[in-house]
Amino acid sequence: MTINVILLGPPGAGKGTQAKTLAERTGLTHVASGDLFRAALREGTELGMLAKSYMDRGELVPDEVVIRMILERVAQPDCAAGVIFDGFPRTQEQAVALQESLAEHNGKIDAVLYLHVPNEVLLRRIAGRQTCKVCGATYNIYYFPSHRPGICDACGGKLYQRSDDSLETAQHRLDVYFTQTRPLIEHYQRQGLLHEIDGQQDIAWVTDAMLKALGRFLEPSAQPKE
C-alpha cells in the first residue's frame, strides 16, 4: 500500500531522528527538505548557495524554491511506494502545493505525526546536536554522546555541528516555526489527519508511538511490539 506521512514539529523535536528509523522499519522513503538543501550546498550548486543565505539566518527558504525541489524529489522512482516528509511542508502554501501534486497522481497524505516538545528542551537538544558528515547519524553531547568524542559510532565519520545550531539562530528558527509553521497543526487537525505524539519521551518510546499511530497502514512486520 502507498502511504505518505508528514512529520511535523519544531526544530529539535526529533523529526530527523525518528524519520530515519521509521524509514528503516516501514520501507517508506525519507525526504527531508533541510537535508536536501545541505546536500546541495556540499555539491556547491546554485540552489545550495541560495538556501544557505536563508538557513544561516534561521529564515525559511522561499516557498517556490522549496516546493520545486520537493516535487522533483518525490517524482523519483524510490518515492513511488510512499514517503516520510521531514521538515516539509512548513507553510500553508507548501501544504496546499503538496496536496495538489499528490492528488494529480491519485495520492494523498495519510497521516501527520506532530511531535510536541517544550521550548527549553528544544534549545538544549539543538545546542547539543552533532551530526555525522558521512552517514548523517545524529548524536547529542548531553543525551547520547558518541563513544569517541567527535567520531561517529556507526561509520567512523567526523561529527560536526550545523552552522544554524548556534543559540541565537536556533531561537530565531523557533520563532519562525511558531509564526509560519505551527498553523499547519490546525490545518491537518481539521482534515482529521493529525496524531499528537509526546516528543519529550525517549527515542524508542517515540518510535513505538509513531508506529502505533500508523498501525492500520503498516505491514504486520513493521507493527510495534506490545
| Residue 136 found at the interface with Mg ion (CB under 5 A) | no
Residue 212 appears among annotated catalytic residues: no
End-to-end alpha carbon distance in the chain: 23
Active site residue 129: yes
* Residues numbered 3-32 forming contacts with Mg ion, rule: CB under 5 A: 16
Q: What is the DSSP string of 59-104?
A: PPPPHHHHHHHHHHHHTSGGGTTEEEEES---SHHHHHHHHHHHHH
- 3-class secondary-structure state, position 162: coil
User: Smallest gap, in angstroms, from Cβ of residue 16 to ligand AP5?
Assistant: 3
Told to judge if 190 belongs to the known catalytic residues of this protein, a careful annotator would answer no
Size of the site for ligand AP5 (CB under 6 A): 36
| Catalytic site residue from 52, 108, 124, 162 | 162
| Residues 177/70, Cβ–Cβ less than 8 Å | no
**Dist CA 203 CA 111 (whole Å):** 20
Does position 209 interact with ligand AP5 (CB under 6 A)? The reply is: no
Reply yes or no on whether 162 is catalytic: yes
- Give me the residues that bind ligand AP5 (CB under 6 A), please: 9, 11-17, 33-34, 37, 54-55, 58-61, 66, 87-88, 90, 94, 125-126, 128-129, 138-140, 143-144, 164, 173, 202-203, 206
